[in-house]
Structure 1
Amino acid sequence: MALNFFDQFASPTLFGIPLIVLALTLPWVLFPAPSSRWLGNRLTTLQNWFVNRFTQQLFLPLNQEGHKWALMFSSLMIFLLSLNMLGLLPYTFTPTTQLSMNMGLALPFWLATVIIGMRNQPTHALGHLLPEGTPTLLIPILIIIETISLLIRPLALGVRLTANLTAGHLLIQLIATAVFVLLPLMPTIAILTGLLLFLLTLLEVAVALIQAYVFVLLLSLYLQENV
């Protein structure tokens, strides 16, 4: 039977029903809900510490107007982080390897930052399209280049997240397949390849964490330009 390495990126179905909704809902079940107790358990304390540190680090350069987005960006960070990490478990599905989903997250957030900039400070927002001191002959060219750069931002957000996770998953599956093939033929080479697979898995865990942070960080930078 010929293996198709891209089958892992197909949306799972059960009796013809897509399970993508279940995959998107599951991460929220894993996080403890806030309670009215004065003292929480260790998991809740660790979760609150992580969210507070992340929010403080992310919104430090932003002014007071941008702090209204703290809850939304923190929730998005935890959501992407959970999806990326759960996708590394065996027999699971990673929704963030789907470009359509990542674009569905990137486009509305990017568009919201642009609309806020155009509504609150249109002169400053449009000023980004033309750097100060530009020669007269280069003004039309630079406006076109900066406009394309602005419009391509959501595509860059979605493609970056999709490409990094897809490449990591494919590489892990390729090396894992090589380990199973080499094990009966060359056990020593298979063990060395298995060690490489373990190191690559650690690297993929780091990539899953970093890409979720980078996604939200770039959105905060776009917001910083418009508030």
Structure 2
Amino acid sequence: MISNLFDQFLTPTLFGVPLMLLALLMPNMLLTKQNEIMTNRLSTIQSWVMKIYIKQLMSPINPNAHKWTSTLLALMTFLIMLNLLGLLPYTFTPTTQLAMNMALAIPFWFMTIFSGIRHQPTNTIGHLLPMGTPSVLVPPLIIIETISLFIRPLALGIRLTANLTAGHLLMQLISSATMALYFITPSFALLAFIMLTLLTLLEMAVAMIQAYVFVLLITLYLQENT
């Protein structure tokens, strides 16, 4: 029984064993494996959607960074599946945990910085100071740009966590109101149920959009450093 609205974001346990690992393995179990000889409708649709994602994400980026395509596509597919699976009843969404999102955001952000320092160190360091800056403003601008650089992984992780948490909390509130109104005023309960259904459809779209935005921001950071 949920005694607090935020209890739904606690990591569930079974016999004292956290179920986080099982939740992280579920996307890999559900995705279909591509067969080079014979395909079915599901694998064809899956390949078609992935090609669209690849075109949208990688077309603006320098060709030198296209080797990141498979990694970023795998990350986005992983996030989409985790977010969507978390909308099912009696399930757990790992991406509502800030620690989980930061564990994804920090390494990818660091790799974009490392890639820039390795391939074009002058341009990467030059981002800390805009061209034509007066000498008086050089120290504060360098400090501000450095802070904004280190805030990027925080923005990645917190954005994903906040958007999913807000949607899940709203669904929890409306579903609780539906159950409470069912025995009092069934007409209002029906209205709340319709709102809950529409909100669920919206959350499905948000789950996919937030995964796309997470990877899109990484590609923008990558574009600056390639």
State whether TM-score is above 0.5.
yes
After superposition, give the CA deviation of every residue in 1:150-185 in whole Å (9 maximum; x if it has no partner): 000000000000000011001100110011111111
Distance in 2 (CA, whole Å) between partners of 1:15 and 1:189 is 40
Deviates more, 1:184-193 or 1:15-24: 184-193
Q: Specify every segment of 5 or more residues in structure 1 that has no aligned partner in the other structure, as ranges.
A: none
The offset of 1:2, in angstroms, is: 7.3
Q: Take 1:145 and 1:36, find their aligned partners in 2: how far apart are those partners?
A: 51
**Unaligned segments of structure 2, at least 5 residues:** none
- Determine if contact 2:2/2:8 at 8 Å carries over to the other structure: no
**CA 1:96–1:4 in 2, change beyond 3 Å: closer, same or farther?**
same
So what's the TM-score if we normalise by structure 2?
0.97
Report the residue type matching 2:115 in the other structure: I
Give the match's secondary structure for 1:125. Answer: helix
Instruction: Give distance in 1, aligned partners of 2:16 and 2:2.
Output: 24
Give a deviation string over 1:1-35, Cα, whole Å, max 9, x none: 87311121111111111111110001111111122
Distance 2:74 2:161 in 1: 19
- Residue in 2 that maps onto 1:147: 146
Give matches, 1:52-71, under 5 Å: 52-71=51-70
> In structure 1, what residue type is equivalent to 2:82?
L
Instruction: Measure, in 1, the Cα distance between the counterparts of 2:194 and 2:205.
Output: 17
One-letter amino acid of the counterpart of residue 105, structure 2: A
* 2:185 counterpart of 1:186: yes
SS at match of 1:219: helix
C-alpha separation in 2, matches of 1:51 and 1:201:
24
* Range with greater deviation from structure 2 (94-103 or 198-207): 198-207
Instruction: Measure, in 2, the Cα distance between the counterparts of 1:62 and 1:99.
Output: 29
Residues 58 and 69, structure 2, Cα contact 8 Å, conserved in 1: yes
Q: 1:115-134 alignment to 2 at 5 Å?
A: 115-134=114-133
**Alpha-carbon distance in 1 for matches of 2:208, 2:139:** 40
Question: Which residue number in structure 2 is paired with residue 210 of structure 1?
Answer: 209
Give the TM-score normalised by the residue count of structure 1: 0.97
Q: Is the 8 A contact 2:84 2:207 kept in 1?
A: yes
Does the C-alpha gap of structure 1 residues 191 and 201 become closer, same or farther in structure 2, counting only changes over 3 Å? Answer: same
The number of residues matched between the two structures is 226
1:197 maps to a residue whose letter is L
Give SS of 2:61's match. coil
Asked if 1 retains the 8 angstrom alpha-carbon contact of 2:24 and 2:82, the reply is: yes
Amino acid at match of 1:187: P
Identity over aligned pairs, percent: 60
Residue deviations 1:76-134, cap 9 Å, x none?
00000000000000000000000001000000000000011111111100111111111
Residue aligning to 1:30 = 30
The letter of the residue matching 1:195 is I
Q: Distance in 2 between matches of 1:77 and 1:177?
A: 32
Q: What amino acid sits opposite 2:43 in the alignment?
A: T
Code of the residue aligned with 2:213 in structure 1: it is: V
Once superposed, which parts of structure 1, at least 4 consecutive aligned residues long, lie more than 4 Å away?
none
